Structure 1
Amino acid sequence: MSAPRTDSLSAPSPDRGPDEAPAGPVWAKVPTRLAAPAPVAVTVTAVVVTRGSSPYLGATLAALRAQSRTPDDVVVVDVDTAPATSGHQDLQLGGARYVAGAGARTFGEAVETALSATGAPDHGWLWLLHDDSAPAPGALAALTRAVEHSNAVAVAGSKQRRWERDPDGTPLDPDLSDRGVLLEVGHTVSPLGRRMTGIDDTEIDQGQHDAREDVLAVGLAGALVRSAVWRQVGGTDPAYGQLGDSTDFCLRVRLAGHRVVVVPDAVVRHAQVSLHGPGASGARRRAQLYLRLTSVAPWILPFAMLAMLAWAPFAAGYRLALKRPERARDELLAPLWAVFRLGPLLRARRRVARTSTVPRSVLRPLLGTWREVAAERRDRRLARGGAHRVEHALSDLERAELGTLAVRRRATLALVVAGAVGLAAALFGPALGALAAGARLVGGALLAAGGSTATTWSSATSGWVRDGLGTAAPADPLLFVLSGLSVLAGGSLQTAVNGVLLLALPLAAVGAWAAAGTVTRSVWLRAAAAFLWTVAPPFLGALDGGLLGAVLAHALLPWTAVALVRAVGAQAVDRLTPPDDPADAYAPGPRAARPTASLGAAGAGGLLLACVVAGSPALLPAAVLVLVAATLVAPRRRVHLVLALVPALVVGAPLWWTAVRDGDRGLLTAEPLAGASGVGAGGPASGLELLLGLPAAPEPWFDAPDGGGPVPTAVRALVAAGPWAVGVLVVALALLGLLAALLGIGRRRAGATARRVTGTTVVGWLVAAAGIAVAVLAQDDGRWAGPGLSLLLLGLGAAALAGAAAVVARGARLHGFARTAVRTGSVVLVAVGLLLPAAQAAAWLAGSGSVAAAGRADLLHVSAAPVVPAVGQQMQAPPRQARVLEIGFSADGDGTVRYALLRADGSQLADAAVAARVTGGDGTAAGALDTVVAELVSGTTDGVPERLAALGIGAVQVRDGGTAGQDAAVGDLVATLDMVPGTSRVTEGQAVSVWRVSPADQPAPGWARVEEDGTTREVLPSAGTQVRADVGAGSADRVVVLAEAADPGWRATLDGRRLDAVAPEQTAGLQAFVLGPDDGHLVVRYEAQHRTAWLVLTTFTLVVFALLALPVGRRRTR
């Protein structure tokens, strides 16, 4: 206990001697000093709470023994399982008592255990300490001085500083390692209950906060608490657990009419082990929400609970965007924990009400404001930014070198972009005006893409494909991706498709540049890789053939590779070399930025991989194989590679399940959203041609000159070998990379270089093997082999760049002729890598021309002419939604009749599902359609209009033939249709002849109708695959019939009452429901099995990965 002070309150000035009188008055002689309250005897019991064997406990007890004012009693409470000190090796208790408190779950319960065991007096004080909180020698003396003159003070807290630790977690000596980093000098809470200290994370104690005294709360580690008040308020609330109990306890002490002060002269070094331990963030968030619920007014409590639950997803999304998934999980779970613990919550509120003697308004001056919240966040952000800049500070020479590298990199990238944009302009430039005026890109395998975002989303997720009379089948995952892109295109699917094709070439070039940058930092090697990737035969062939999925997969594959490589921190980085070091474009040097794994890159990689797999489902097994195998060589965060597979698996889950259930690999190798393909005219490629990246038997780039002699022969041979040159170059360099990996080039100088060469080469050849396997399987199924070959070229390109960069790095360390030879070879290599793509692009453009050129009917071209005339489109529009039957003949001239049911302006991209093409079209309704078309063409007229109307066909159209044979057949067909009763021609002198279907004594055909005794009584309004209409009363025999194939997924309700389905045999395979005599509101729709669960899972997955991919929550190193 401190003796009463009688000395002067004014210390001697350092500017005068000890014997000189002070210049001012002597404050000890002022009579008011005698009026101060007399100090009271302070009895202190120190309670140290530990959890088992702790590396901090010994130092903390030593600090207690070193106090200038020692506590009267010291009690050590172990809340772990050790029943005695034998569980603590080398523990020196000194005069302290040991109490086993294995049943204590919280700090407050441990203190209660100590009080029960020692019988501390009510008039005494408790000095509460954690095992990781070592007080400075004068801490207790300063605390007792603060409380011995005031009966109002019930809690006196200490100034907390950080207890420093080694990087391995070993605590350092608290007296020798104290850097003065502040943790807390008292604290308050924000309006939402968040703890606020007003101190930056790295703020050094310079006495700037020593003026604080009365505060809202203090940390209980190192706090002096009056024993009577501890018992009065009931100690800490066990519901808080390890965190948050200090704030709640001090609030209750304040409301009980006592003061809570902080004593800056009392310093405690605190390691905050519980704050940084596993699960600490969740415990802290739960404590914040629990404190908020215990503090609000009773009438606000239910609204506060609802608000917390409603805000939780947004808070979790914010944490995900900051790349803190654990915190996001806590934001979701903490409100549930707080809301569903009603019992402890109500007991805590009753305890506060029972012990409170003053209103809550007395706390308002001590609470944090929104302005203070914003100021604290700003200060902490600036402090972290300053610390980051100091840690990664560069010299002027290093900044200049980085600037030079950046200028060279940007200039070369500009050349790459210019080349790709020029190639795109040559292909699409002449058609831009027509596209801007509303024309569309079609042809080859590409169908018209009419429809809005809403209709595209419905087609992508409904589980019903509306091709022909419809079939239950999953849509292609590519349509799901396009529905998202249509949002960016202003709600138009056709604009989204046009945009993908227009931007494909520049997107592929820039992506290849970025992907090459993860392997080598040589700008010329990256430029050559970008050009070679842009003019790769699989890519150009897919563009010509209108294979939208293959185009998208090729363009996004390098971007996916970039994201996945960065996800595990395996990318190459720029090296800052000393002036006397040779340039090394590959190996990281001592000043190279260390690559770090990126969760954001993993999120972006997952989304990109989902788009790639949607464009080519056959790449999914290859992606799974490659990523799982790549985890064996990934340098860090290997789980990121597995995580990246999740979106691709979830988005295409209906198609993957169908393929596994049916055992049909054709569902994966078929081109998604494709019509009749016009590619591969050169015939199937051989195994060697596939290995060189050629999807079909190649044709010479240019016509060889005629004439004999050795020169023309050599020229012809060179021209014939042109299409092979790109593949030969890539394979040769990939073999060089394999050789470099086997020989360990650069191993003596830089082990990291050798490891990167080996790892990149192994993964590259693994990717190439997966790609060639996909290509071979696709070609065996008669499909386009391009996506597999794109994957092959990606793998070979990675291995080739690794080999070339390793050779360049090795050559930079050679001397004399060897160095000159390597440099010359590098220049030749880059020159060939730049010239070959130029020749390839020129030959391709010369052979194909632009999309606006004539003669590209079987290839991708621009079209502005409608497929269905305006009169037919008017019938197709809601609410009627009649179909148009188009009849024609095959181009072979063999007289084969071809027909299509059109629900829009031509066959639609949204209706071209692979699963529907493979599994649909063989039902009773399809057979009925075949029969009526055959009767219509042959001239059999009995009941044909009625059967057409029953199928929802409102018009029949015939297009003029393109050949003499087709013209003759079309003329005969037109004459036949003119003679069919119930049809009337509505167009004359046009390229398309249209006949309106008008069955006798029945309304005009539509998609949904009410039928009675086999006669249509009413056509119901419909939109898409839904009917929502009010129907009147009628006979009991009424049925609702849809012009769609029957399926168990169709549902119909009348005023909420479910209607029974009619057997398909009674309606020629069409879907029908028993309507009956009642009136009411009729709803008909299709409900796919498990659709809701899949949509919820897909939405959740995409939102999570999109938030992870957002470029926020990170800081550039340079």
Structure 2
Amino acid sequence: MDTGEVDQGQYDGRGDVLAVGTAGMLVDWDTFRRLDGFDPHLGPFGDGLEFSRRVRLAGYRVMVAPHAVVYHKMAGYFGLRGPDGGRPARSARSFDPTGRDADANGKLEPNPKRSFAARRTAQLHNWMVAAPWWQFIFLPLAVLVLGALRVLWRIITKEPKLAAGEVKSTLVTVFRPFAAWQSRLRRARQSKISPRTLRPLQAKSSQIRQAKTTARRVAKDQRRPQIPDGVARRNFYTEKSLDRTLVWSVAAALILVALVGWRFAIGGVSGGALANLPASNRDFWNDLISGWIPAGLGYGSTVGAADPLGLEVASLGQVAGLVGVKGAVVLAVLLFATLPLAWLSAWWASGVLTDSRTLRALAALSWTLSPNLLVSMGLGQLPVWILAVSVPLFVGSLARGTGMPVTRTVMGEIEPVTVSVHSAAIIQVGIAALTGFLTVSASVIMVIPVVLLVGLAMLKGVANPLYVGAQAETRASTFSRIPARLRLKAVHALIVLSPAVLLALPTAMRTVSSPAQWSLWLSSLSVPLPVSMPNWWDLLTAWPLDVAATALPIALPGWQILAFLPLGLLLLTVVVGVIIPGRSTGAHWSLLFALGGVVTAWLASSTPVSVSGADAVCAWGGPGLAVFHAGLITSALFSMGRLELTMPVEIANWSNRSAKAVVAAALLIPVLGATPVLVNQFAAPADSGFNALKTFREASLPATVAQGQSSPRHLRALNLEVASAPHQSTLVTASLWRDWRDTTFEASPYLKLKNYRNVTGSRTPDAADAVLQTTVAAVLGGSTPKLGEQLAQLNVNFIIVPPSRDAATTALVNTLDSAAPLERITTTEAGTVWRLADSATASLARIAPAQWKGGHPSWPTGEVKAQALNVRGGKARVPEGPAGRLLALSERADSSFTVRFNGKIIDPVETGQWNALYQLPPSSGTVTITYAYLPHQLWGAVLLVSLLIALAAALPLRRVSEVRL
């Protein structure tokens, strides 16, 4: 203390620190001038840290007086001051995701995010200045890499403006190296002690982690509803606990129902309309990226020909195959998870329309135990399984994305208290984009309701009261669920629509260029399965087949009445709710969607899209019925809002109590309606007309055939099924198997429609289809001189005839037994199997000496035999041979194939054949075969980017929720 100075504690607690800020800094003027002042390359941020470091290294001390009081407005930090000292520019103000950046008086609210770019630039500059020399050399590259990662992280955390700040600060730091160099030289010139002396003053990494953990914990606590009323707070959390108990108890019960009813599928499931997943192999990913469809003789140069849902579940099967889980088990898991996931998603979605526990449970049970879903589960209609989960999630997240809150009305100390929780809009928008994509993947026609719903969400007041006076007549205890100001932002609508619209774009372009393929809009992923066509009453009660024509082993008395009861009562409720004047147009809009869904289901059920034996198979009406049922439930929830079921029981009158009792009793209706299906599923699933699934058996594909398919020669099997046709004739259906029979590739709508049009004669078969028909005719004709070569050129090494005792099948077996190029190898549950006697001739790629006539080569079909090549990863080793020899691919000719010999591209020889031929040089070498269809890859890249944006938006990071009382 100085002489005469009074001890008032002004020096108590002083201590050395690494740095202090320039606001309130006291520095000796001579020292300030000796150290050349603050760094001119730094603005108002980071200058105190850089100057304090130089002060320390120059031999001075940096101290802090804790009891000193300095008032600092921090206008620059909170973005209240622009670069010129005035207000910030308009473009730099809007960081609030709700758009409320100013108070009621128009005064700009403090927000530190506005100054982020300047602070981050100063931080990087200080890093460049303080780093050791050996690190400084690599720092620009490190800053670039770190900047890219931080930009990605800011996008994931839904902070796009901060991502722009990251880009700006990174580029300024990297492309302004002389600024850091000058600062480092000045620091080195003024330093008198080693920089190591600063280490004890620096914060440790553990302290930084602890500070971040504390900040996250505080933010999490702030997101919790803060309810001042103690009674209301206690009741609120009690209600939430009851909801959780109910939800998870019902979900567990539904899992048990699925396990018992479909117990035969525990080890794997197949059959019905359920397509098998391709076996695990690395060629799947190459085909997925390139656009090649490995079905039949191959398909390419077509965008979106493979079914999106088929690719998604097949990709899931490939990932599961890495840990030894078979595709049939993956399908079984999806089957068992459908009911509980449908219940959970429907419960979650209904929360934006009502907070009545019984009403939400009734809506969710009606959706989960829908006849459409139960029958689709039994028959293996996978798209409806997916829609049962994705449709409620899409609708619920889209509603929350517009700003609709989830409310809860509980009794407080004196009066009811309504707690409204507003979810982060961007997260809900991301969920809507992903679930909308999944919805359109299941059925491309679903893009229409998806687009319409997004369009309605962008309009203000779509579901507002019908009459202006309705709100004025509403009592204070009635809470309006859809305020007029709520709507979906244009940017959010673009995020939601991009994946779904891009997914449906190829189908739209295909039907515009070829109107005869319009039925692709109604078809979905499934193996052709003939079912009885439903009538209008079946469709209006959400049954996708003819209930009267369905046989049940256990026919309960009046089971058809029970089957029609749930949807019949729901339809009646909706009609009454729409007729009686109400306060919301939401019921009317929902009914319009429901009518569109039932019309779509009728159109699908009467439109043939595939063929099974001699029968034309119509599209499955399940997707349309899903829209129909969802529209009815939503309309009913809107209409029931007038019953005031959310009124706390403490103040509810007799009408409220009676309405709650009726809704609680109605919970039994969906259960009773599902009883006929579930009882037969529990007791005799194999005999039920509502079930076509069965246990997956490895014997469905003989081991010899499976080994040949997975070999380097990629051998194929020709399956011949004999069926009765009209006019006492016999029909032989032929199909090429590259993998398990009826995989997701063969079950795609594009390939099913192509086969149907070939059979009906509405389409002229191409060269590959004609060759297959000719080869099948040769097989049915018995032993011919060219039969072996005809099969080998298709890479067919096996022929399978399923077991049957009819005379036509017996005659076919005898014919194949007498064919010289064939030899019977086994008879299994899959049928009788033959293979080529000279099995060395079949392969994906073969070479043979050419036969040239008139300057044009032709593939040898005489005494000269082709040599099979082993192809691994698209590469094959070719031995020496004669000049002019040809390489033949057993794939449909396509200009997107590229063949290289020792790295040099070889052009195909134009011969007009169904497959491509390539002339090889006589020397030995390596042949590389690749396929890449650029339009498919560009479309896939754009689609992938839109999905990544949606995924980044959906991740629950830096979530912001607002609670209002």
Shared fold (TM-score, shorter chain, > 0.5): yes
Alignment of 1:589-628 (within 5 A): 590-628=417-455
Task: Work out the CA distance in 2 between the residues paired with 1:210 and 1:1041.
Answer: 91
Residue 728 (structure 1) aligned to one of 568, 571, 575: 568
Q: Is the 8 A contact 2:59 2:192 kept in 1?
A: yes
1:540, distance to aligned residue in structure 2 (A): 2.4
- 1:1061 counterpart = 2:908: yes
Residue 1079 (structure 1) aligned to one of 924, 929, 935: 924
1:949, distance to aligned residue in structure 2 (A): 0.5
Partner SS state of residue 799, structure 2: strand
Aligned partner of 1:172 in structure 2 is none
Q: Judging changes above 3 Å, is the alpha-carbon distance between structure 1 residues 878 and 635 closer, same or farther for their aligned structure 2 residues?
A: same
Residue 869 (structure 2) aligned to one of 1007, 1020, 1025: 1020
Task: Work out the CA distance in 1 between the residues paired with 2:554 and 2:189.
Answer: 105
Aligned residue identity for 1:9: V
Task: Work out the CA distance in 1 between the residues paired with 2:151 and 2:590.
Answer: 37
- Deviates further, 418-427 or 542-551: 418-427
Aligned partner of 1:272 in structure 2 is 75
Q: Judging changes above 3 Å, is the alpha-carbon distance between structure 1 residues 697 and 498 closer, same or farther for their aligned structure 2 residues?
A: same
- 1:896 counterpart = 2:722: no
Aligned partner of 2:7 in structure 1 is 10
Aligned residue identity for 1:834: L
Partner SS state of residue 791, structure 1: helix
Task: Work out the CA distance in 2 between the residues paired with 1:663 and 1:212.
Answer: 84
1:669, distance to aligned residue in structure 2 (A): 2.5
- 1:883 counterpart = 2:716: yes
Task: Work out the CA distance in 1 between the residues paired with 2:941 and 2:737.
Answer: 32
- Deviates further, 346-355 or 364-373: 346-355
> Scaled by the length of structure 2, what TM-score is found?
0.80
- 1:977 counterpart = 2:816: yes
- 1:669 counterpart = 2:541: no
Q: Is the 8 A contact 1:772 1:792 kept in 2?
A: yes
Task: Work out the CA distance in 2 between the residues paired with 1:725 and 1:1020.
Answer: 63
Aligned partner of 1:644 in structure 2 is 496
Residue 442 (structure 1) aligned to one of 271, 281, 289: 271
Residue 118 (structure 2) aligned to one of 283, 287, 301: 283
Q: Is the 8 A contact 1:736 1:800 kept in 2?
A: no
Q: Judging changes above 3 Å, is the alpha-carbon distance between structure 1 residues 729 and 826 closer, same or farther for their aligned structure 2 residues?
A: farther
Aligned residue identity for 1:693: A
Aligned residue identity for 2:255: V
Aligned residue identity for 1:673: L
Task: Work out the CA distance in 2 between the residues paired with 1:528 and 1:356.
Answer: 76
Aligned residue identity for 2:624: G
Partner SS state of residue 866, structure 1: helix
- 1:761 counterpart = 2:587: yes
- 1:955 counterpart = 2:802: no
Task: Work out the CA distance in 1 between the residues paired with 2:812 and 2:521.
Answer: 38
**5+ residue gaps, structure 1:** 14-206, 582-588, 707-714, 745-757
Task: Work out the CA distance in 2 between the residues paired with 1:492 and 1:336.
Answer: 49
Q: Judging changes above 3 Å, is the alpha-carbon distance between structure 1 residues 420 and 855 closer, same or farther for their aligned structure 2 residues?
A: closer
> Scaled by the length of structure 1, what TM-score is found?
0.70
Partner SS state of residue 448, structure 1: coil
Aligned partner of 1:938 in structure 2 is 781
Aligned partner of 1:678 in structure 2 is 530
Residue 836 (structure 1) aligned to one of 669, 691, 697: 669
Alignment of 1:769-808 (within 5 A): 771-772=597-598, 774-775=600-601, 778-779=604-605, 781-782=607-608, 783-808=619-644
Aligned partner of 1:479 in structure 2 is 310
Partner SS state of residue 986, structure 1: strand
1:643, distance to aligned residue in structure 2 (A): 2.5
Aligned partner of 1:635 in structure 2 is 486
Q: Judging changes above 3 Å, is the alpha-carbon distance between structure 1 residues 948 and 882 closer, same or farther for their aligned structure 2 residues?
A: same
1:254, distance to aligned residue in structure 2 (A): 4.8
Partner SS state of residue 941, structure 1: coil
Residue 337 (structure 2) aligned to one of 473, 485, 503: 503
Task: Work out the CA distance in 2 between the residues paired with 1:596 and 1:948.
Answer: 62
Aligned partner of 1:995 in structure 2 is 834
1:669-719 per-residue CA deviation (whole Å, 9 max, x = no partner) reads: 24433221334x1x2443x7545534345439999999xxxxxxxx99x76
Aligned partner of 1:1040 in structure 2 is 887
Q: Judging changes above 3 Å, is the alpha-carbon distance between structure 1 residues 290 and 647 closer, same or farther for their aligned structure 2 residues?
A: farther
- 1:308 counterpart = 2:128: no
Aligned partner of 1:860 in structure 2 is 693
Residue 469 (structure 1) aligned to one of 290, 297, 304: 297
1:888, distance to aligned residue in structure 2 (A): 1.9
Q: Is the 8 A contact 1:457 1:483 kept in 2?
A: no
Task: Work out the CA distance in 1 between the residues paired with 2:814 and 2:649.
Answer: 84
Aligned partner of 1:873 in structure 2 is 706
Partner SS state of residue 733, structure 2: strand
Task: Work out the CA distance in 2 between the residues paired with 1:1047 and 1:361.
Answer: 68
1:937, distance to aligned residue in structure 2 (A): 1.0
Aligned residue identity for 2:772: L
Aligned residue identity for 1:728: G
Aligned partner of 1:171 in structure 2 is none
- Over the matched positions of the two proteins, sequence identity in percent amounts to 26
1:468, distance to aligned residue in structure 2 (A): 0.8
Residue 521 (structure 1) aligned to one of 355, 359, 368: 355
Partner SS state of residue 573, structure 1: strand
Q: Judging changes above 3 Å, is the alpha-carbon distance between structure 1 residues 728 and 673 closer, same or farther for their aligned structure 2 residues?
A: closer
1:954, distance to aligned residue in structure 2 (A): 0.5
Task: Work out the CA distance in 2 between the residues paired with 1:858 and 1:1006.
Answer: 39
Task: Work out the CA distance in 2 between the residues paired with 1:239 and 1:653.
Answer: 52
Aligned partner of 1:294 in structure 2 is 129
Task: Work out the CA distance in 2 between the residues paired with 1:665 and 1:302.
Answer: 62
Computed over aligned residues only, the root mean square deviation of the Cα atoms, in angstroms, reads 4.0
1:120-150 per-residue CA deviation (whole Å, 9 max, x = no partner) reads: xxxxxxxxxxxxxxxxxxxxxxxxxxxxxxx
Aligned residues: 867
Task: Work out the CA distance in 2 between the residues paired with 1:212 and 1:664.
Answer: 86
**5+ residue gaps, structure 2:** 81-91, 93-113, 461-484, 609-618, 759-764, 851-859
1:890, distance to aligned residue in structure 2 (A): 2.5
Task: Work out the CA distance in 1 between the residues paired with 2:4 and 2:526.
Answer: 97
1:247, distance to aligned residue in structure 2 (A): 3.2
Task: Work out the CA distance in 1 between the residues paired with 2:718 and 2:286.
Answer: 24
Partner SS state of residue 833, structure 2: strand
Aligned residue identity for 2:837: S
Q: Is the 8 A contact 2:22 2:48 kept in 1?
A: yes
Partner SS state of residue 890, structure 1: strand
Task: Work out the CA distance in 2 between the residues paired with 1:501 and 1:385.
Answer: 36
Aligned partner of 1:547 in structure 2 is 381
1:532-564 per-residue CA deviation (whole Å, 9 max, x = no partner) reads: 112223212322331111221123322333333
